Amino acid sequence: MVCSTSRLEMLLLPVWASVLLGLLSGFLPAVGMEPMGGAKSGSDHAPKTEPLPSSPASNCSDLTVKLEFSTKVVEHEYIIAFTGYFSAKARSLYIRSALRNAADASLEWHIVPRENPASHFPSDFELVHIRQASPGSLLTLEDHPYIKRVTPQRKVFRMLKYTASPEPAAPGNATRSWQSSRPFRRTSLSLGTSFWHATGRQSSRRLLRAIPRHVAQILQADVLWQMGHTGSGVKVAVFDTGLSEKHPHFKNVKERTNWTNEKTLDDGLGHGTFVAGVIASMRECQGFAPDSELHIFRVFTNNQVSYTSWFLDAFNYAILKKIDVLNLSIGGPDFMDHPFVDKVWELTANRVIMVSAIGNDGPLYGTLNNPADQMDVIGVGGIDFEDNIARFSSRGMTTWELPGGYGRVKPDIVTYGSGVRGSGMKEGCRSLSGTSVASPVVAGAVTLLASTVQNRQLVNPASMKQALIASARRLPGVNMFEQGHGKLDLIRAYQVLNSYKPQASLSPSYIDLTESPYMWPYCSQPIYYGGMPTIVNVTILNGMGVTGRIVDKPIWQPYLPHNGDHIDVAVSYSPVLWPWAGYLAVSISVAKKAASWEGVAQGHVMVTVASPAENESESGGELTSTVKLPIKVKIVPTPPRSKRVLWDQYHNLRYPPGYFPRDNLRMKNDPLDWNGDHIHTNFRDMYQHLRSMGYFVEVLGAPITCFDASQYGESTEAPPLGPPRDGAEGAALTEVALPAVSPAGTLLMVDSEEEYFPEEITKLKRDIDNGLSLIVFSDWYNTSVMRKVKFYDENTRQWWMPDTGGANVPALNDLISVWGMAFSDGLYEGDFTLADHDMYYASGCSIARFPEDGIVIAKNLKDQGLEVLKQETAVVEGVPILGLYQTPSDGGGRIALYGDSNCIDDSHRQKDCFWMLDALLQYTSYSMTPPSLSHSHSRVTPPTGAERPLPQRLEGNHLYRYSKVLEAHLGDPKPRPLPACPHLSWAKPQPLNETAPRYA
C-alpha cells in the first residue's frame, strides 16, 4: 500500500546549499517532485517523478520514511552580497557600475525580481541573472568597493523513500521510529550507468526530521503559567513550511509571510504547523508560550524546495520586525557557506535568539549540523522520555578547528525529541521524533522564559544560553559531546534568568581530565611528559554585550598544594568577542620535572572580559567580568615508546569545503567524507579499542616535520611479557621468539587526503631509519572512477570532479617510494577470511610494489572498478592487500601497509579489523610477526610494480584550493613553503599557595 504524504513522518528538507555538487538523488524514488510552475528565480529542471513503491507492510506504521536530498546551482543566477544595506536603486547602480568595467562589454544581465514582504526595504544582497558569466566578470563585480561577495544562487529539494523501520515504536505510541540518513548495515546496489550521477550539489542544510506526550507540562511550564507568564510580548519566528490561516490551536498569529514562489501561506506538509504548535499551541497538545506573538515564515514550497535567496530575504525581514526568538529546525555539515553563516551572525548580533536542531546523524560522532554548531546559536540535541540520549541525535565534537586544534562542546543542551506531541496540519495532534522536535521545545521554553523577565534588555542570545546551560541537569553516564551541558530544566532556568546580572561565562566551565565519563575523551587518557599537548577549546559567552574584548592576557595560576606546578599551560584567545562569543584555546603539557611522577595536578586560568556599556553613564563606559577556568589533570610517568601511537591528523581533509568522496563507494546516499577523520569522531571505536589495549594515542595536528621522533623511535625497552590483553586469540597472533630489535612507537596514517611537503618525506625517512615505525591504511584512487563519480548539475551543465579519491594514493606513494613501496589504482571489494577472522574489503586499493624481503598477504576480491566503469563483474585472484616490512638500517623501524580503512572507520564499518590493528602494532612496536600472517597460505611473492603503471594525480584537479600544502603556480600546483611549526607561548605561572575550590 502507499501512505498519503500528509501522514508521513518526514525528515525535513535541506535549506541551503554548499560549495559542492550534491548528494545522490537520481536513482531513488521521489515524492511530490513535479516541476514548479511560475518560478521567479531559478531554472526548474526537477528530477523525474517516480511513484512510491508499494509496501509489503499491512499498514503505514510499519514503515519509516527516509530523506534523500540534493541541491542545484541555478543556471546563470548569482547572489551579490553588499557591504551594507542599500535601496534597490542603489544596488542596481552599483552592479551596473561594476559590470561596466567588465572585459566582456556585451555581457547580458538583469536583476531578478523578488516579490516578498522584504521587497520594499533596503537589502544587503541582490539576485542577478548573468548569461554566460566569465570568471573575469565575476571578479570584476567583487572588485567594486560596495560588493562583498558573489556566490551562485542555489535551489534545494528533498525526496522521500520507504525503508524498513529499524526499531519498533514504543508500546502504546502510534509512531514510527527514526532512521538515520546514514545506513549502518551493508546494502547491495546496482552499479548502473547512473552511478553517482546526481542532479545537484551536496546539500548543506536540511530541515531535520520532525515522532506522545504534553511536553510543556512535563517540563513544568504550567508552573510559570500559574504565575501569569505565558509568552506575552515575545515575538517568535518559525521558519518552516507555513501555517493555515484558521488553525484552531493558535490565537496570536501576528503575521504569516510567504517567501516561496507558491501563491499560498498554508502548510501543505504539516511540519511547520507541528513546530509552531510545540511553541505556541493554546489547546490540546499545548505549547509553551500560547500568548507569544507568532510570526510564520513560509520558506519551503509544498514540493519541498527552497532557495538561498529566500532565506536571506526572510532573515533580513526578521531583523526588521525585531524578532526575539527564531526556531530553525534545519541543519547540514557545511559551516563554510558564507552567505548563510554571515546572516546568522547578523541575526544574533541584532539580539535574535536563534534555536536550531543539532542534527539527526547520530550515533556517529563528529556529525554536528550547522548553524546549531555555531557559538552564537543555541544548538539542541534530543533525548527520550526516559532521559536517554536519542540514537538519532548528532554528537560532537565540532570540526571547525581541525586539523590543528580541537573541537568544542556541542550540543549546548538536550531535551525531549522522541515521541513528542504537537499540532496536526489542520486540527488535532500528532507525534513526531527528531532534533527538529527538540529544537522547538527549547524555542518554546526560551520564549516563555523571555516573557518572565521584567527588564527585557537583559535578555540576549548570550544571557539566554548562559541561563539554559547553567541550569541544565547533568545526565548520568553520558559524555559532554552527547548531552552538552545537560537536560533542559525550565524552572531552574527561570530562577537563573530572573536573578541574572550581565557577565561572561565559559563553556565548558571547567576542564577536568579525571571526570569520567562526562569529560570524555579527555578523561580517557592521562597526560605525560613528552606527549603532544592536550588542547581544550573553551567558548566564552559574553552576556554583557554583542561585542567584547579580553583585558590584558589570561593568567595561569597553579595551586601549589595540588601539584599545579607539574603542568605547563598555554592559552590563545580571540582578540574580539563577536557576536556574543569568543574562544579560549587551552593547551596543557606536563613539566619536565614530572616525567616520572604520577598524580593529580590542579590550577586555574583567569580571564577578564570587557564590553562597552549600553548605558553610557556606567563607570568608564565599560562592563567587565572576570571568570576562572579550573583545570584538573591526571599525570602518569611517560609510557614506553612501544605503547605510544601518534595519529596523523594534519593530512586528513574533510567536507567542507572540497569534494572529498566517501571511502566506501557502496554508500551512495552518503558520498562525502565530512566527519573530520579524527580519533574522537568517526574513529572513536578504534580509539577506545587502542586505549583498552594499553596504548596511548596522541594527535599530530602539524606537519611531520613538527614532532620529535626520538619520543617514539629508538629505545632500549623490553617487549611485554606474555600475551596481550585479548587472551588466547592474541597469544596465537604473537607467539614468536623475542626480537633482537629496539621497540618503537608508531605513526598511524589513515585515509590521508592531503599532499606532503618534500621536507616531510625526507624527515619521515630519517625518522624510520632511526627506529620510528609506520602503519598506513589507504583507500581507493582511480582517475577513471573519479571521473565516473563526479556530480552532474543539470542547470549549469557542468561536471564537478572529486578533488581526490578515497585517499590521496599518489601522495602516499611519494611518501613510501623510498622503501620501494607503492599502492595501485586498483579498486577492490569483497569478503574474505584472514587469521580466522571474517573481513570485508570496502572499496580499497591493492599494493602494487613492495620490497622482495617483505611479507605480503593477498586475497581474491571483486574488481569494483570494473563494476563501476563497465557494470561487469569479475573476481581477481591474489590481490595484495597487506604488507609488513622491516627496514634494513640498523635499529630501523617497521612499516605496515593495508589498502582499506573502512574496517576501522565508524562511518560505514561492516566488520571491524581491530584485531589486525593489534597485530600490526605488535609488529611495528616489537617486530613480533603474527604466525597467522607470516605462515599464511595467502602469503605471496611481493609485487614489483611492473604489471601496471602507478596511479597518477587526476589532471585538472582542484585540491590546491583546499590544501594546506599546495598552492596554485601558473596553473601547475606546487608545494607551499614549509610552514613554521606551531609555537606555544607557555604562560608564566602565578602560583597560589591555597587549596583548589570545588567547581562541580
Question: Residue 729: in which H helix or E strand, if any?
Answer: helix 728-734
Rounded-to-integer distance, Cα 149 and Cα 142, Å: 6
User: Which residue type sits at 527?
Assistant: I
866-to-154, 630, 875 alpha-carbon distances in Å: 35, 58, 10
- Give me the helix-helix angle, 490-497 and 435-451, nearest 10°: 40
Categorise residue 621: left if φ over 0, alpha if ψ from -120 to 50, beta otherwise: left
Number of Cβ within a 10 Å radius of residue 693: 17
Cell numbers of 339, please? Answer: 552567505
- How big is the chain, counted in residues? 1000
- Are 245 and 265 in contact by the 8 Å Cβ rule? The answer is yes
Which residue has cell 577472522? 837
Rounded-to-integer distance, Cα 682 and Cα 273, Å: 35
Residue 780 sits at φ, ψ, to 5 deg, of -75, 150
Burial class of residue 964, CB neighbours in 10 A (0-12, 13-18, 19+): middle
Q: Using CA atoms of 660, 803, 979, 715 in order, give the dihedral in degrees to the nearest 10.
A: 60
Burial class of residue 576, CB neighbours in 10 A (0-12, 13-18, 19+): exposed
Rounded-to-integer distance, Cα 26 and Cα 905, Å: 27
Rounded-to-integer distance, Cα 757 and Cα 658, Å: 20
Q: Which of 180, 394, 436, 932 is catalytic?
A: 436
Asked about 831 being catalytic, the answer comes back as: no
Apex 974 CA angle, 970 and 977, nearest 5: 120
Number of Cβ within a 10 Å radius of residue 307: 31
Cell numbers of 4, please? Answer: 498519503
Rounded-to-integer distance, Cα 975 and Cα 115, Å: 49
Q: Which of 18, 129, 181, 240 is catalytic?
A: 240
- Are 1 and 648 in contact by the 8 Å Cβ rule? The answer is no
- Please list, in sequence order, all residues whose beta carbon lies within 8 angstroms of the beta carbon of residue 124, skipping any fewer than 6 positions away: 81, 82, 83, 84, 85, 86, 316
The dihedral built from the CA positions of residue 672, 675, 678 and 683, taken in this order, carries a sign that is: negative
Q: Which of 129, 271, 678, 958 is catalytic?
A: 271
Cell numbers of 947, please? Answer: 604489471
Ordered DSSP codes for 517-568: TTTTTGGGS-B-TTSPPEEEEEEEEETT-SSEEEEEEEEEEEBGGGTGGGEE
Rounded-to-integer distance, Cα 482 and Cα 465, Å: 17
Cell numbers of 526, please? Answer: 592521562
Ordered DSSP codes for 948-965: SPPP-PPTT--GGGT-SS
β-pair partners for 586: 536, 571
- Are 359 and 390 in contact by the 8 Å Cβ rule? The answer is no
User: Which residue type sits at 104?
Assistant: D
- Are 672 and 18 in contact by the 8 Å Cβ rule? The answer is no
Number of Cβ within a 10 Å radius of residue 599: 12
Asked about 642 being catalytic, the answer comes back as: no
Ordered DSSP codes for 16-48: SB-SS-B---TTS--SS-PPPSS-SSS---PPP
Asked about 393 being catalytic, the answer comes back as: no
Q: Is the peptide bond before 656 cis (omega within 30 degrees of 0)?
A: yes
- Active site members: 240, 271, 436
